[in-house]
Amino acid sequence: MIKIAKAQLEDLAGIIAIEQDVFDTDSYPPFVVRQLFDISGDYFLVAKEKDKILGYALGGLNTKKQQGWVLSLGVHRDARGKGLGKQLTAQLIELLKAEYAEEIALTVYPDNTSAIKIYKDLGFVGETVLDNYFFDHEERVVMTLKISHQ
Ligand SMILES: CC(C)(COP(=O)(O)OP(=O)(O)OC[C@H]1O[C@@H](n2cnc3c(N)ncnc32)[C@H](O)[C@@H]1OP(=O)(O)O)[C@@H](O)C(=O)NCCC(=O)NCCS
């Protein structure tokens, strides 16, 4: 059975393996993943089957702005198309909502059809395209989700 849970220290090796496979030279170096775990542990989710890591979602919260972020999302190639990417993102949104985030933001490459489908399905909107967000002269779409706490 596949479970979604908060990432534990022992999950990081599996998370880093997926991160490096899917993002290649753009992946976070392992020391950054470790430090993000230390500061964003509450918003670091994994999908796992027994001890095998199938995917992860990493978020963050700017408490001053009450703005949450979806910082990274990755699903192992063999585990795609089963709804894990959407479930991980949906659960991350719930965690950020519970901390009274008023908006959740993310950026995505404009040609990333499957990720954009997930974000739109979950209510993210936005067409703002930034030319050089990661200083790599690649376009990046900014999407946001407004949260109502009524
Ligand atoms: C994006 C990613 C996380 C999606 O993971 P996943 O577990 O396969 O996603 P899901 O199974 O939840 O699929 C989400 C939706 O996208 C759809 N989809 C999948 N591939 C698609 C494609 N190439 N074109 C259009 N839609 C697609 C699915 O049908 C599904 O829609 P549905 O809910 O209506 O059935 C995964 O492909 C991945 O790790 N990609 C590389 C890393 C990445 O791009 N991360 C996002 C960075 S912003």
Q: Which of 101, 113, 27, 25 is nearest to 59 (CA)?
A: 101
Q: Check: CB of residue 12 under 8 Å from CB of residue 41.
A: no
pLDDT digits (tens, 9 = 90+) for 72-116: 999 999 999 999 999 999 999 999 999 888 999 999 999 999 999
pLDDT in tens, 36-74: 999 987 899 999 999 999 999 999 999 999 999 999 999
Q: What is the CATH number of the domain that holds 34?
A: 3.40.630.30
Nearest-atom index, ligand 1, CA of 106 = 48
* Residue range of the domain that includes 125: 2-146
Please choose from 80, 114, 143 the residue to mutate so as to test ligand 1's pocket, defined by most ligand atoms within 8 A of CB.
Answer: 114
User: Ligand 1 atom closest to Cα of 82?
Assistant: 11
- Pairwise CA distance, residues 42 & 60, whole Å: 8
Domain count, the chain: 1
Q: Which of 16, 56, 117, 119 to mutate to test the pocket of ligand 1 (most atoms within 8 A of CB)?
A: 117
